[in-house]
């Protein structure tokens, strides 16, 4: 698969995402059990106000998720997931000028979310569930494909790689080819290396250090490391004490060419993006 040069404007439903500069995606978990903010934004009004605050702080995408994918998380039914995300997506679409991303692997959720005004499908399982490729293809929306092995319940049970960089790249290439075969154009794909998903600390650090190598795949990169355990292990910090580490990795990701940063702490991350842009704009 040859390297592509993609345009700076990615169509996301009725809006466009500017890929000429790094963009911040704000995380909105409407789950009771997510690792960092589970239970905080399950109610419609609380979720909408949080989304509003993130947009006001500079987020250009809001990623709405109704299924926790932390290690050991329990599975949820399609009906339960849809009941969590649909009212939130509908409210954001009606009230805020922002691209909505739906963090889901469930075909029924993809289809309904697209109908409700979502502009991006963000799937940690890379459209591997039965019917997901067809649902994504029918939506006409861009899709973020993420590397993961197994399922969240078991993914951290002794993950092994001969070469994590090669195997992550090969997996993403295979999923890109599957998408094209299903009628999803390469131009609609975004790639996520999947930090913290079926990877040890050493795997995560090596993958981050060599993030630029994934540019050879020719697609925009999304990086999600906000508050994750790779920061906790490196710094000896609990989940509520990982802002500095998250911002350090955000800055590093941008210097390594990441296009989208998926984060909990939007105002602080937007400051990082703006500060780096100010330096780069100097003569």
**Which positions are catalytic?**
228, 262
Whole-number Å distance between alpha carbons of 90 and 226: 26
Whole-number Å distance between alpha carbons of 26 and 49: 13
**Residues in the chain, total:** 283
Say how many C-beta atoms besides its own lie within 10 A of residue 62's C-beta: 28
Sign of CA dihedral 251, 221, 154, 112: positive
Whole-number Å distance between alpha carbons of 265 and 30: 16
* φ, ψ at 198 (rounded to 5°): 60, 45
Give the residue among 164, 115, 168, 165 at the shortest CA–CA distance from 146: 168
Give the residue among 103, 52, 62, 98 at the shortest CA–CA distance from 81: 103
3-state secondary structure of 112: helix
Say how many C-beta atoms besides its own lie within 10 A of residue 168's C-beta: 26
Whole-number Å distance between alpha carbons of 66 and 108: 13
Say how many C-beta atoms besides its own lie within 10 A of residue 185's C-beta: 11
């Amino acid at each position: 698969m040859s390297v592509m040069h993609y345009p700076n404007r990615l169509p996301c439903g009725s809006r466009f995402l500017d890929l000429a500069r790094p963009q911040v995606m704000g995380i909105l978990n409407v789950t009771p059990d997510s690792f960092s903010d589970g239970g905080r934004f399950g109610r419609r009004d609380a979720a909408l106000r949080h989304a509003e605050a993130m947009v006001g702080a500079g987020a250009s995408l809001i990623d709405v998720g109704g299924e926790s994918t932390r290690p050991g998380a329990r599975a949820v039914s399609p009906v339960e997931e849809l009941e969590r995300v649909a009212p939130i997506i509908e409210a954001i679409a009606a009230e805020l000028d922002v691209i909505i991303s739906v963090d889901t692997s469930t075909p029924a959720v993809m289809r309904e979310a697209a109908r409700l005004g979502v502009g991006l499908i963000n799937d940690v399982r890379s459209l591997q569930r039965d019917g997901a490729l067809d649902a994504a293809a029918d939506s006409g929306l861009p899709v973020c494909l993420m590397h993961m092995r197994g399922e969240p319940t078991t993914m951290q049970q002794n993950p092994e790689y001969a070469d994590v960089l090669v195997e992550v790249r090969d997996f993403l290439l295979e999923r890109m080819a599957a998408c094209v075969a299903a009628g999803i154009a390469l131009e609609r794909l975004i790639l996520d290396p999947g930090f913290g998903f079926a990877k040890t600390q050493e795997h995560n650090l090596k993958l981050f250090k060599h993030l630029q190598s994934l540019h050879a795949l020719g697609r925009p990169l999304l990086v999600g490391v906000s508050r994750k355990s790779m920061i906790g292990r490196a710094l000896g910090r609990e989940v509520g004490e990982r802002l500095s580490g998250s911002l350090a990795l955000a800055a590093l990701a941008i210097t390594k060419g990441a296009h989208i940063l998926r984060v909990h702490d939007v105002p602080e991350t937007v400051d990082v993006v703006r500060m780096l842009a100010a330096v780069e704009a100097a003569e």
